[in-house]
Structure 1
Amino acid sequence: MAPAITLAADAPTLSSANTGFMLICSALVMLMTPGLAFFYGGMVRVKSTLNMLMMSFISLGIVTILWVLYGFSLAFGTDSGSIIGWNSDWVGLSNIGLTELWDGYTIPVFVFLVFQLMFAIITPALISGALADRVKFSAWALFVALWATIVYFPVAHWVWGAGGWAFELGVIDFAGGTAVHINAGAAALGVILVIGKRVGFKKDPMRPHSLPLVMLGAGLLWFGWFGFNAGSWLGNDDGVGALMFVNTQVATAAAMLAWLIYEKIRHGAFTTLGAASGAVAGLVAITPAGGAVSPLGAIAVGVIAGVLCAMAVGLKYKFGYDDSLDVVGVHLVGGVVGSLLIGFFASGKGQSDVQGLFYGGGLDQLWKQCAGVFAVLGYSLVVSAILAFLLDRTIGMRVPEDDEVAGIDQAEHAETAYDFSGAGGGAARTNVTGPVADTASKKVDA
């Protein structure tokens, strides 16, 4: 068969509608990082609230600068050995035309790169939930910079970059089951195995201090996730983005209900924390699969993820690893579940004609999904553990035990989240070794 000839008239042209849509989606994904901060911030004890918020917010600063300098080039530049990309013209983003289109699409390169930037920002922020109460803020900031460079940028190229080995193999990851959630969940496990448990783990009560904050964060995540998922098709001319939007809602609802039912049977109550966690588990699981499955398939993905993630969060007590806010149980397990279920539930009527086992496609797609899942999991787990070990042995990863017991907010940020002694803020931003800091310390003691 003779190769098709692409006429100039058939070349993609700038679409104002798709460009505007993608800018909105980028803003929605950006909102997810503050949403995550509230979600995590409500789940920790009062004395760690601000530190938890800052561990997410600092990623907005660090990863943005790295993305401009070299991150976008490493993730989406010209492929080298199916492992990493590079394009010197993209370093500093100074040689990209304002109306230059992203490869084969109707949106500018700048729009695509800022959308992907928001993914790069939230992925290391996800890790922070596993490390609550015990990590030096300076060490965390350095870890974010190193991890984004050595782990996230290469993995993003594997999965989404032209020439990346997972992309070329045919691994389906619509919006980040492997590159975002498995990547972050495995990294969280690697780091906590190195830095150890919180003081009082399994002994002291470590209940969430503000469930309303948790619910607010979960709501913001759910809202922003529509941009995260539907935007990943980079337009909606063929309806696939709309399918992903619907499946995002459907799977999240199913997972929330499944988690609550499991929780009622297992523990005797429907909790707000369970509702929030179940919703996030559904969002995680449908992220890789939503463009490949039908709405009925999305219900199945949500139900399975809701139950399995609810079961998985208890494994830390059985195996003794201190995953403070269940990043492993929700993001790693949810990402694995959603990615592998593509091999069963892909309908062949969404983003591609690939069919899963239950639709007559055999095991072909399932083994590809397994290859992507376990390669990313293994790489992120090992490299993240090595990074944590090196930082721990050099600058130290953990705060002193006395600071951890007294409260990491005061030790690392000279502030407190709530002022119970009267009007005014919790602490000052300056003079942290002078009289103002002493006053703030007295407020904490009060």
Structure 2
Amino acid sequence: MLLQEGATAEAAALAEAEGFGPTDGASTGSLFPPDITFYVDGKPIEAHRIILCARSPFFEHKFETDWKNRKEVRFSNKKLSFGALYNLIHFFYADRLEAPVDEMESLSRTCKVCKCEELRKLVDKEILHLRFALYKSTSKLGLENSQSPRRFILLGQSLPREDRLPSALRRVLQKCLANSREEEFKKTLANEICRNWKDDDLADLTVKVDDTVFRCHQVILASRSEYFKTRLSRTVDFLEGNNRVHASLGLPFLEEHDLSTEAFEKMLEYMYTDNLEHMDPTQAEELFDVASRYLLFPLRRAVADLLLPNLEHVSPAELCHWLILSDIYGVTKIREYCLDIIAYNFEMFADIREFRALLLTLPPPSANDALRTTRPSQPGAAGHTDQGNILDDLREKWLEAEAAELDERDQSAALFDQRLEMLMLVAEREACDDDNAALH
């Protein structure tokens, strides 16, 4: 967690699960340090302005006015407790609130000041419940005198959608995208751009893709992607190309190649919100590649979820294409869907030239019985769960759909292999005919 004082290992892990913070001492906080420190009762709480502004209108207003250029803020209000502010800021990062029951009234006051109204309502509701049902659960167990302090735990899902972390970061992303500018304008109007460039998005990084410059936040990119974490830690790359416009903006500058601006924007959407709302199916292949290149593997699942309904309407030839892509990029959901469709409609696909040509590009199925993935598991044995040879897995799917009883399973598998061999011979002959036709 980016908040060091008293943070538990569980809290740090939860924060990391949301994409923020390390699990050990070698933290991203050391590479991308917090930009604001609060002192309550002489104890520090470090945080990032962008997270605070995204979650709290109070902090957003303060950082635009009184605290605009400040690195430290010291609170002297005796009603503010260190624990309440720490737990609230921890919630901003992790979307999980955990606080001692004894501090809930102080937490409610802090929520009110920070204008976190929906969270305050839930805290007040719990305070009211505790007031009239004190020790309700522990008294039945005879634990009234237990020494362990009781804690209040609340997850972000309890809040309205617009008050949760993904929605807050989506608003930040929208502001950043609105502030993006075409690179061609910067080449001649650098000074004017610098004067007029909005800084209300609190961006601390610019990334150039083609002719578009995206304003981003290092802590978010580094916490979601090991690629960016490593890239940003190399300060030699901070002002790549020594571009004078970006240097004059005072922001680190990276340039990314071999991807479209649309794909990069979709990747940013996922990194900020952990979700993709919409996607053009034609973008899926590029996004699978982006997920692998930028080590953002969960993005593949989000793309697959949006792509899957469209596969119901594609041609068999296109389905073969998606089978190969899903195998290359390890997209299990798409791969399994394609294999199921082909297995249950095998004879139809056998009549399609693209499927026969596909067979020539794949490793042959396992001929040795000891290597087959289609062997039935012994009772009590674990099933085959690893992604293997496409044709082995297709044979397994076909056996599930069409094969005879278990005692004749190997015979059915042999018949399937013979059918594949026949189709491959046909495909080889078709390929030779195409080559001869091309020569003439």
Say whether the fold is shared (TM-score over 0.5): no
Task: Please state which band the TM-score falls in when normalised by the shorter chain.
Answer: under 0.3
**TM-score relative to the length of structure 2:** 0.24
* More RCO (CA 8 Å, sep 6+): 1
Higher fraction of helix: 1
Larger radius of gyration: 2
